[in-house]
């Protein structure tokens, strides 16, 4: 049976699903400036294969892996090897490309990614890495969805306002520590975790994590009042942050406290900063009361999680994580987290538990769409600060 919690909740939140980006035509009603819509040319399976045949020169190799940096690398063979699966991939994920050139680039990215997936799965009892909607992205495109490694160093060098996020009062810390303890916990069981979204090719994880935190905090405070909120509010209107260039949760929560978030249906996601802020056009924006830095350890995170709600976190990302496709626990090694980090990422911890193999984990809601991990969620090793997942946890109250 589920543990009883201070705000035992029910809502009309349904099964997780992606919120698709709207095109410029849809956004037209929210902005005066006319924009020229891109003409998208759907590259059909037949065309993709026809293009490939022209490139392949009928050469196919039996090699199982390809190293694009090797002098012996044969790109034609690589593309030929993965052509049929790529056609299925474009159909399965409803992929659209602007031109034949873009489709060919996507095929190359897909082929290289599938080679990497095969390498990562080699020697495992069962595959834990696989295909998802990002499989046709280049490594550079994926890195742009993350915060740069020097992002917080640059923040410290800037002239900043006093932090909005407060240190938690000792009295509240003691009260939380005396609260109930559970072997496992999952806020999804109480229907307060809103649907998984997709940030696309934009470094807006900070906006998605902040918005997801507010959506859940609001539901905990106001039962059955499900609010799906607008990340675009932050991209366009929070000028203290840098939209797709990265953002800081402290600044984001300060903005939400002062100005609030519009509904997603009113202010849809564009995966880029627009020329003007339109939030003032919408009433009933959602605000928060306070945000607290939690102690950087699993006990403090669990105490907040079980008593007040999901926990906003930031962590380091290593390249293999983009292809994670398993219900197993993702456990990056200390060596990987030291030497293989490609960027920083913000997400939302919505639960915790222990796997059948005895591995403690955090249950984390990501913003890479529902084809990542377990329908957009994944399990990250808990208790050792793996890739700094326990470094800067934040809890909020709506």
The H helix count followed by the E strand count for the chain is: 12, 9
- Please name the fold of domain 24-32+144-397: Cathepsin B; Chain A (3.90.70)
pLDDT at 74: 80
pLDDT at 351: 98
pLDDT at 368: 97
Q: For 95-127, how does the pLDDT look when each residue is reduced to its tens digit (9 = 90+)?
A: 999 999 999 999 999 999 999 999 999 999 999
DSSP, collapsed to helix, strand or coil, labels residue 109 as helix
Are 165 and 394 spatial neighbours (Cβ–Cβ below 8 Å)?
yes
Matching residue, tokens 């911890």: 349
d(CA 168, CA 292): 5
269 against 28, higher pLDDT: 269
| Whether the predicted pLDDT of 157 surpasses 80 | no
pTM for this predicted structure? 0.83
Q: How confident is the model at residue 325 (pLDDT cuts 50, 70, 90)?
A: very high
Q: What is the mean pLDDT of residues 68-86?
A: 80
Q: Quick one: 223 exposed, middle or buried, by C-beta within 10 A (0-12, 13-18, 19+)?
A: middle
Which ranges in the chain belong to alpha helices (H)?
A: 24-27, 45-56, 75-92, 100-121, 139-143, 151-157, 170-177, 205-221, 231-237, 249-258, 298-307, 334-339
pLDDT at 68: 57
Average model confidence (pLDDT) across the chain? 85
Q: Which of 263, 313, 217 is nearest to 9 (CA)?
A: 217
CB neighbours (10 Å) of residue 154? 11
Give the range among 57-71, 158-172, 177-191, 215-229 with minimum mean pLDDT.
Answer: 57-71
Q: Which of 363, 224, 389, 391 is nearest to 306 (CA)?
A: 363
In Å, what is the CA distance from 126 to each residue of 324, 326, 396?
A: 13, 10, 39
Residues 6+ apart with CB under 8 A from 159: none
Q: For 200-213, how does the pLDDT look when each residue is reduced to its tens digit (9 = 90+)?
A: 999 999 999 999 99
8-state DSSP, 198: B
Q: For 271-323, how does the pLDDT look when each residue is reduced to its tens digit (9 = 90+)?
A: 999 999 998 889 889 999 999 999 999 999 999 999 999 999 999 999 999 99
Q: For 141-150, how does the pLDDT look when each residue is reduced to its tens digit (9 = 90+)?
A: 999 999 888 7
- Active site residues per annotation: 205, 345, 366
Are 34 and 213 spatial neighbours (Cβ–Cβ below 8 Å)?
no
d(CA 304, CA 99): 49
d(CA 308, CA 207): 21
């Amino acid at each position: 049976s589920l543990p009883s919690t201070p705000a035992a909740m029910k809502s009309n939140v349904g099964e997780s699903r992606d919120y698709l980006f709207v095109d410029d035509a849809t956004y037209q009603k929210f902005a005066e400036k006319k924009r020229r819509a891109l003409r998208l040319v759907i590259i059909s399976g037949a065309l993709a294969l026809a293009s490939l045949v022209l490139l392949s020169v009928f050469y196919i190799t039996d090699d199982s892996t390809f190293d694009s940096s090797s002098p012996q690398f044969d790109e034609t063979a690589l593309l030929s090897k993965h052509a049929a699966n790529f056609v299925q991939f474009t159909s399965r994920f409803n992929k659209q490309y602007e031109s034949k050139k873009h489709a060919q680039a996507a095929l190359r990215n897909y082929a290289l990614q599938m080679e990497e997936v095969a390498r990562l799965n080699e020697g495992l009892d069962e595959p834990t890495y696989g295909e998802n909607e990002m499989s046709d992205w280049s490594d550079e495109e994926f890195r742009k969805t993350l915060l740069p490694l020097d992002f917080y160093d640059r923040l410290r060098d800037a002239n900043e306002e006093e932090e909005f996020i407060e240190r938690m009062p000792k009295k509240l810390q003691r009260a939380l520590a005396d609260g109930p303890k559970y072997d496992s916990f999952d806020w999804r069981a109480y229907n307060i975790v809103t649907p998984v979204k997709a940030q696309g090719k934009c470094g807006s994880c900070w906006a998605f994590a902040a918005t997801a935190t507010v959506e859940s905090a609001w539901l905990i405070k106001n039962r059955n009042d499900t609010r799906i909120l607008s990340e675009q509010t932050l991209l366009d209107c929070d000028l203290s942050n840098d939209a797709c260039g990265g953002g800081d949760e402290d600044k984001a929560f300060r903005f939400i406290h002062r100005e609030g978030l519009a509904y997603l249906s009113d202010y849809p996601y564009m995966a880029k900063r627009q020329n003007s802020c339109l939030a003032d056009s919408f009433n009933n924006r959602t605000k928060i009361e306070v945000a607290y830095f939690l102690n950087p350890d699993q006990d403090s995170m669990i105490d907040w999680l079980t008593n007040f709600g999901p926990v906003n976190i930031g962590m380091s990302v290593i390249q293999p994580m983009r292809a994670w496709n398993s219900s197993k626990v993702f456990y990056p090694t200390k060596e990987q987290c030291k030497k293989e980090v490609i960027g920083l990422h913000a997400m939302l911890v919505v639960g915790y538990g222990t796997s059948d193999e005895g591995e403690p984990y955090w249950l984390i809601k990501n913003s890479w769409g529902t084809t990542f991990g377990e329908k957009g969620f994944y399990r990250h090793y808990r208790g050792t600060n793996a890739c700094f997942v326990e470094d800067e946890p934040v809890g909020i109250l709506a």
